[in-house]
């Protein structure tokens, strides 16, 4: 599970084909990445807490939205892993006809479900490869 979450942090475009990402070299447990989504770019600092969680935060010194996210691995029962995703971001609430927050939450939930499903497939494939070799 951990390696899959790290892959998602380092290469989010593998999980969402609408993104492009350039990641800097990992130094200690941190790296910077620039995510391109259409005409919008986000510069984020990513911090890895090995086998526990991954946190991201947009760089505060740039003209971009303020956003943070965390993906935490929990084990409520021995042998059962659970991933908790938490997001916090600025919203433009100027459109009173559209609940931007609700739409973003629905999008994040779906992206996270798809990511966990892909990580499971990758993990099962890796385990299958190991049992063959």
pTM for the full model?
A: 0.84
Tokens representing 33? Answer: 């990445």
pLDDT at 97: 64
pLDDT at 96: 63
CATH for 2-132 is 3.30.530.20
d(CA 113, CA 115) in angstroms, rounded, equals 5
Domain range annotation of the chain: 2-132
From first to last of its 133 residues, the chain has per-residue pLDDT tens of: 899 999 999 999 999 999 999 999 999 999 999 999 888 888 999 999 999 999 999 987 777 788 899 999 999 999 888 999 999 988 766 656 667 778 788 888 999 999 999 999 988 887 656 544 3
User: Which residue, 11, 47, 53, is CA-closest to 32?
Assistant: 47
pLDDT at 133: 38
Rounded to a whole number, what is the distance in angstroms from the first to the last CA of the chain?
A: 21
């Amino acid at each position: 599970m951990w390696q899959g979450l790290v892959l998602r942090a380092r290469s989010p475009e593998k999980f969402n084909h609408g993104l492009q990402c350039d990641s800097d070299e990992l130094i200690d447990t941190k790296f910077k990445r620039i995510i391109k989504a259409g005409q919008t770019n986000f510069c984020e600092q990513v911090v890895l807490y090995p086998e526990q969680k991954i946190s991201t935060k947009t760089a505060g010194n740039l003209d971009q939205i303020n956003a943070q996210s965390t993906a935490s691995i929990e084990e409520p029962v021995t042998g059962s892993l659970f991933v908790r995703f938490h997001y916090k971001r600025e919203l433009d609430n100027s459109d009173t006809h559209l609940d931007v927050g609700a739409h973003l939450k629905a999008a994040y939930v779906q992206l996270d479900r798809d990511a966990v499903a892909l990580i499971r497939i990758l993990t099962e494939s890796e385990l299958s490869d190991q049992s063959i070799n």
